[in-house]
């Protein structure tokens, strides 16, 4: 290793971080129209795909811990987009379900992915390849590689 390994422009982590920030900026004006944040949006994406799941399932899907998820869900609940229901048999389980307002918001959000894709400037082929590579990286990062 030489000093080049410490240059910011050579850091994969920085490229991903900067890209993530720029993409999130693209979402902001669109999501502002719906009065939701990006984190609220991705939480709703999960619920629009599969409603009435446990907080643990939601956290795993979003890669968020309960310290981040609990205030997020409280906010979504106060906005009347979701409800949280404690399991009557196992009180440790809490389910998150969309309200009617949360279900209706999906109709207003349906164009968001195509607007963001258009703003990215990527071809469909490039986007599919990039998503596959990022998914592979994420999978790899969630497994211990014992690098010493």
Residues 6+ apart with CB under 8 A from 44: 36, 76, 81, 98, 102, 105, 106, 109
Q: What is the pLDDT of residues 29-85, one digit of tens each?
A: 999 999 999 999 999 999 999 999 999 999 999 999 989 999 999 999 999 999 999
* Confidence category of residue 1, pLDDT binned at 50, 70, 90: low
- pLDDT for 2 equals 79
Cα 90 from Cα 74, distance rounded (Å): 21
List the beta bridge partners of residue 82: 98
- pLDDT for 107 equals 97
In this model, does residue 147 exceed pLDDT 80? no
pTM above 0.85, yes or no: yes
For each of the domains in the chain, give its residue range(s) and CATH number, in order of start: 12-141 (1.10.10.10)
- pLDDT for 43 equals 98
Q: What is the pLDDT of residues 3-24, one digit of tens each?
A: 899 999 999 999 999 999 999 9
For residues 81 and 98, the answer to whether their CB atoms sit within 8 Å is: yes
In this model, does residue 148 exceed pLDDT 80? no
Share the mean pLDDT of the chain.
Answer: 95
């Amino acid at each position: 290793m030489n000093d080049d390994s410490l240059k910011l422009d050579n850091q994969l982590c920085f490229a991903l971080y900067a890209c993530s920030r720029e993409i999130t900026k693209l979402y902001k004006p669109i999501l502002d129209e719906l009065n939701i944040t990006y984190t609220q949006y991705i939480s709703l994406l999960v619920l629009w795909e599969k409603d009435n799941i446990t907080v643990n399932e939601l956290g795993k899907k979003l890669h968020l811990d309960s310290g981040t998820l609990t205030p997020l869900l409280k906010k979504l609940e106060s906005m009347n987009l979701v409800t949280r229901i404690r399991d009557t048999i196992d009180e440790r389980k809490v389910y998150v379900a969309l309200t009617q307002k949360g279900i209706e918001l999906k109709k207003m959000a349906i164009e968001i992915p195509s607007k963001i894709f258009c703003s990215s400037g990527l071809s469909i082929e490039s986007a599919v390849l990039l998503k596959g590579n990022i998914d592979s990286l994420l999978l790899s990062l969630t497994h211990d590689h014992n690098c010493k």
